[in-house]
Amino acid sequence: MTAEVLLEHGLVVASALFATGLIGVLVRRNLLFQLLAIEIMLNAAGMAFVIAGARWGEADGQVFFIFILVMAAAEVAVGLALLLRLSHRFRGLDGDSVSVMRG
Amino acid sequence: MIDVCRSLPIWLIPALPAAGFVVLALVGARFPRRWVAIVGAGSVGAAAAATLCTAIGFLGRPPETGVIEERLWSWIDVGSFEIGFNLAVDALSLVMIFVVTFVGFLIHVYSTEYMADDSAYSRFFACMNLFVAFMLMLVLADSLFLLYLGWEGVGLCSYLLIGFWYSDPANGAAARKAFIVTRVGDTAFAIALLLLYKHAGTLDIQAAMAWAADNWAVGSGIAVAVALLLLGGAVGKSAQLPLQVWLPDAMAGPTPVSALIHAATMVTAGVYLIARTHVVFELAPTAMTTVAAVGAATLLLAGCSALVQTDIKRVLAYSTISQIGYMFLGLGVGAWSAAVFHLMTHAFFKALLFLGAGAVIISLHHEQDIFKMGGLRRRLPGVFWTFLIGSASLAALPLVTAGFYSKDLILWAAWSSDSGSPWLWAAGAGGALLTAVYAFRLVFIVFFGDERGHVERRPGLLILVPLTVLAVLSVVGGFVETPSALGHVSFFFDLLDPVLPPAHATVAGHGTEVLLQTVVAAITLLGVGLAFFLYVRRPAIPAAVKASPLGAWLCGLWLSGWGFDTLYDRIFVRPFVAVAGLLRADPLDEISSSVARVIAAGNSALSRTQDGRVRTYAFGIGLGAVIAVAVVVLT
Amino acid sequence: MNHVFYLSSAIALLGAALAMACRNAFHALLYVVVSLLAVAGIFFSLGADFAAALEIIVYAGAIIVLFIFVVMMLNLGQRAVNREDDILTPTMWIGPGVLALALFAELVVILIRGAGGSTTGIGVGPKDVSLALFGPFVIGVELASFLLLAGLVGAVYLGSGARSTGGER
């Protein structure tokens, strides 16, 4: 009752999700959207693990998905806290305005 | 008594002034002046007493080998290379330490009054004590390596004391000049030491000399090389041609310094060195001839220069160069003992002359131009009489002065010795005329004629007593060795005989000797008379000569010391400065600094990419990922 | 179940793309939720039930809710949407688009070249995952807990902005 798809198909989908997230990070100047795009990229990476795990019928893929999940949760907590602070300080969410550390 | 004296350790002699230096250098600035004077002069006086004691022990019960050795400790011990810190006293060093400590003590006593107004009183005595310690180290060393330590040490003290009044840049320049010019000679000396060590395998003086005598043939190339290099060192230290240029400028130091370092002791270290290594020189006739030629040329050139100087100290400086030229002449013809004898008498009368000049200078409130002096005979009788005795000794006035006996021996050796020649004798005799003229020119201009300077203060007892003692020594110092025609006292030569062999005489003839002595004595008296005529009776004649074109040219040439300064400036200093100017921008560093510049350019280029935007960085990371994966894909 | 996989994949990609193109933050979040739920569907279809459940609970639930809270706190309204319109010009898409497409193309090339094979069709249930987690990967679990703790501390510190002293003013 489980699907038997080609490994390539699953991984292509994960790659496409990753690429979509990458476009989001690069295009959006709004820090909130950038964080969201990063979530999508992380999710795509986790998905690749799960698919690869399913290819071999092993639990390792899901274990690493869980690790990624944990990391994403921690990252989002800190990232959103930073975002709040930045929005107070720079009166907005424009990432390009936060460029005090230019060389 | 003799046993007590023999048991006195020799190391005390250099250690006492060294201790004086340490005390004065560390806490001297906080001492009252009286204490500084007591420590400074007292330490040298104690060294003189120790010397006296050592001399009594040495003469009372001479050691069988002729040397009292004292092994202190091992200084350097690396593999087979071992240098001990050992002292040795033989007759030659005994004479030297006698001169250094006694003349040094008198000059220190003199300095306590002479320098009384100076703010750096303790620094002066610290340096002087250090100098005496190094000088004693030099003459007491039993190895050439230790001798070199003392050699460099006295050079250092010379530098410190020439530049004593360092706030005037000219004094600093004079000090540097002295240091750098002597360094040229020191380098030659160091190479000689290395050569000697390479061949003989030891730097112990006695062992190395014995080895050289056994292994080197007379006239062999290596012996000549070593002898010439040693001569180079001696020439630098003793201000002989061609390295004599530093000594006249060294008069920038205080007058007691000129008396002690630049007349009596340090500058004669070159003579001591050659006498000490005479074995090598005897193996190298070429080098001997060179020594004699250098001495003869120097004594004539410096004598001419002394004739026209107007600064009282510069007259004496050129005179010193000239007199050391005599010593070199003596060394060059193998008359080792005569040279050392002249060294001793010269130390007496030249120290006396410098101290007398210092007394005049300080009485006239630091006036050094002899033409602004005059008629001081009545104002400063004590200084006048002692100065007159010193000048007479310098001019070698016959029979009554020490200078006559020592100079006569050198001239006789120049005529009679194997390596001597009438030419060398003629040079010495001509020098005797010059010496008499310039010595009495000084006396007549400074002490006779109209009073020109204003005597501000009269010298005190601490100045007059050393002058008197030195004046007595300048007279009686010669009676320890008299020629055969005049009593034939040979105490001095007998003393030195185990160390320094007598000169080989070929044309020995009693009649010739007396004849030559008479001729030289006549020349000297002629010179004195000439000086009297020119500078007392007819002062217009020298003025007229000076006014004539040729006279003015010669006068200018001699005043500048034959233009050696200009010559060296042209061929050494200016090219060096030019090269230094070229290298100032560090052309070779361009190689390394260009790397730095490329990196700096890369930095500024790359830092422009760092615009502080997260998106740009993310783009960079993405681009990097694309490229990295592309590498995987395409390969 | 293969249809479920492909359908979910399409929805996930579409949701993600719409979220990235959307001006309104709230709408974007909803698109992301849809995308995440679709990914959960993919996991279900592959038999990774546990991962699918976590995807829904943690991602679509907790994380996105956190985003929603922040959006509400910032009180972004129509003004923010207009602002997004200002700074999001069409030309901006070109560079990142090309870059992302290049990366995607490269990945596809690698994947096609790769060993291939298909998924087994055998489900890997929570029991297997748990056995693996607390068996061989127990150190990873511990490290993950450290990471969460650090994230917690950091978030609390950064969140308490009023007390801060550095560089705020």
Torsion sign across C-alpha atoms B218, B219, B224, B227: positive
Are B412 and B330 a contacting pair, CB within 8 Å? no
| Among B394, B354, B368, residue whose Cα is nearest residue B446 | B368
Where in the sequence is the domain holding A73, given as residue range(s)? 2-95
Q: How many angstroms separate the CA of residue B606 from the nearest CA in chain A?
A: 9
Contact criterion met (CB below 8 Å) for B116 and B523:
no
How many C-alpha atoms does B53 have within 13 Å on its Cβ side? 18
Asked if residue B503 has pLDDT above 70, the reply is: no
Neighbours of chain B (3+ CB pairs under 8 A): A, C
Phi, psi of B75 (to 5 degrees): -90, -55
Please tell me the predicted confidence (pLDDT) of residue A1.
61
CB contact under 8 A, A102 and B614: no
ipTM of the complex: 0.90
Q: Is the pLDDT reported for residue A28 higher than 90?
A: no
Shortest CB distance from C47 goes to which of A21, A54, A66?
A54
B629 contacts in C (CB within 8 Å)?
103, 106-107, 110
Percent of chain C residues past pLDDT 70, beyond the cut = 93
Q: Burial code of A72-95, b = ≥16 C-beta within 10 A, e = fewer?
A: bbbbbbbbbbbbbebbeeeebbbb
Residue-level pLDDT at C168: 45
B507 vs A32 pLDDT, higher one:
A32
Handedness of CA B153, B336, B394, B469 (dihedral sign): positive
Return the SS3 of B118: coil
Residue among A39, A59, A81 whose CB faces C154 most closely: A81
pLDDT higher than threshold 60 for residue B124: yes
Q: Is A1 exposed, middle or buried (0-12, 13-18, 19+ CB in 10 A)?
A: exposed
Percent of chain A's residues with pLDDT above 70: 98
- Alpha carbon of A20: minimum distance to chain C alpha carbons (Å): 6
Of B377, B212, B177, the C-alpha closest to B284 is B212
pLDDT band with cut points at 50, 70 and 90 for residue B273: very high
The nearest CA of chain B is from the CA of A1 a distance in Å of 36
Mutate to test the interface with A, among B614, B617, B629 (most CBs of A within 10 A): B614
The pLDDT mean for chain B works out to 87
Rounded (to 5) percent helix, strand, coil in chain B = 75, 5, 20
B625 touches chain C (CB under 8 A): yes
Give the count of beta carbons closer than 10 Å to the beta carbon of residue B4.
10
Q: Note the pLDDT tens digit of each residue in B287-332.
A: 888 999 999 999 899 988 888 888 889 999 999 999 999 999 999 8
Nearest CA in chain B to A94: B613
- Is C93 in Cβ contact with A54 (below 8 Å)? no
Of A26, A34, A99, the CB nearest to B611: A99
Q: What is the pLDDT of residues B460-485, one digit of tens each?
A: 888 889 999 999 988 888 888 777 76
* H or E stretch at B55: helix B33-60
Cα of A26 to nearest chain B Cα, Å:
5
Which member of A22, A31, A102 has the closest CB to residue B611?
A102
Assigned fold of C2-120: Four Helix Bundle (Hemerythrin (Met), subunit A) (1.20.120)
| C61 contacts in chain A (CB < 8 Å) | none
CB contact under 8 A, A87 and C74: yes
The domain segmentation of chain C, as residue ranges, is: 2-120, 125-169
**A82 within a domain of the structure (yes/no):** yes
- Write out chain A residues lying below 8 Å of B614, CB-based: 31, 34, 95, 98
Query: Could you tell me how many CB contacts below 8 A there are between chain A and chain C?
Result: 264
Which of C103, C110, C112 best probes binding to B when mutated, by most B CB atoms within 10 angstroms? C103
Structure tokens at B221: 């190339």
Collect all residues of chain C within an 8 Å Cβ-Cβ radius of residue A94: 83, 87
Neighbours of chain C (3+ CB pairs under 8 A): A, B
pLDDT in tens, B14-57: 999 999 999 999 988 888 888 888 999 999 999 999 999 988 88
Task: Tell me, yes or no, if B629 comes closer than 8 A to chain C by beta carbon.
Answer: yes
Cα–Cα distances in angstroms (integers) from residue B409 to residues B248, B288, B476, in the given order = 27, 18, 16
User: Nearest C-alpha of chain A: how many angstroms from C47?
Assistant: 6
Q: Collect all residues of chain A within an 8 Å Cβ-Cβ radius of residue C11.
A: none
For residue B311, what are its two tokens? 């600064």
Alpha carbons A12 and B101: distance in angstroms, whole number: 103
Q: Is B605 on the interface with A (CB under 8 A)?
A: no
Q: What is the CATH number of the domain that holds A12?
A: 1.10.287.3510
Per CB-CB distance under 8 Å, the chain C contacts of B631 are: none
- Cβ–Cβ gap B623/C100 under 8 Å: no
* pLDDT value, residue C169: 41
Cβ contacts of B635 on chain C, cutoff 8 Å:
none
What digits encode the pLDDT tens for the residues B574-610?
999 999 988 888 888 888 889 999 999 999 988 888 8
DSSP reduced 3-state for B410: helix
Is B623 in Cβ contact with C99 (below 8 Å)?
A: yes
Please answer yes or no on whether C106 and B622 come within 8 Å at the CB atom: no
Optimal mutation site among A29, A30, A33, A99, interface B, most CBs of chain B within 10 A: A99
Nearest chain B Cα distance for residue A2, angstroms: 33
B551-567 confidence digits (pLDDT tens): 888 888 888 888 888 88
pLDDT above 70 as % of chain B = 98
Residues of C in contact with A73 (CB under 8 A): 58, 62-63, 148, 151
| A5, A18, A72 member nearest C118 (Cβ) | A5
Contact (CB<8Å) C119/A83: no
Nearest to B626 among C99, C109, C110 (CB): C99
Closest CB from C95, C103, C110 relative to B625: C103
For chain A, which chains pass the contact test of at least 3 CB pairs under 8 Å?
B, C
pLDDT band per the 50, 70, 90 thresholds, residue B507 = low
The answer for C63, left when phi > 0, alpha when psi is -120 to 50, beta otherwise, is: alpha
**A100 found inside a domain:** no
Q: What is the reported pLDDT for C163?
A: 52
Using an 8 Å Cβ cutoff, are B524 and B400 in contact?
no
**Is A9 inside a domain boundary?**
yes
Note whether B633 contacts A: Cβ–Cβ < 8 A: no
Say whether residue C141 is in contact with chain B using an 8 A CB cutoff: no
Confidence of residue C37 (pLDDT cuts 50, 70, 90): very high
Count CB atoms within 10 A of the CB of residue B545: 14
Domain count of the fold of chain A: 1
Cα of B623 to nearest chain C Cα, Å: 7
Start-end of H helices in B380-460:
381-395, 402-416, 422-447
pTM of the model: 0.69
Using the beta-carbon criterion (under 8 Å), do A103 and B618 form an inter-chain contact?
no
In this predicted structure, what is the pLDDT of residue B479?
A: 83
Distance from CA of B591 to the nearest CA of C (A): 41
Q: Do C99 and B622 touch (CB under 8 A)?
A: yes
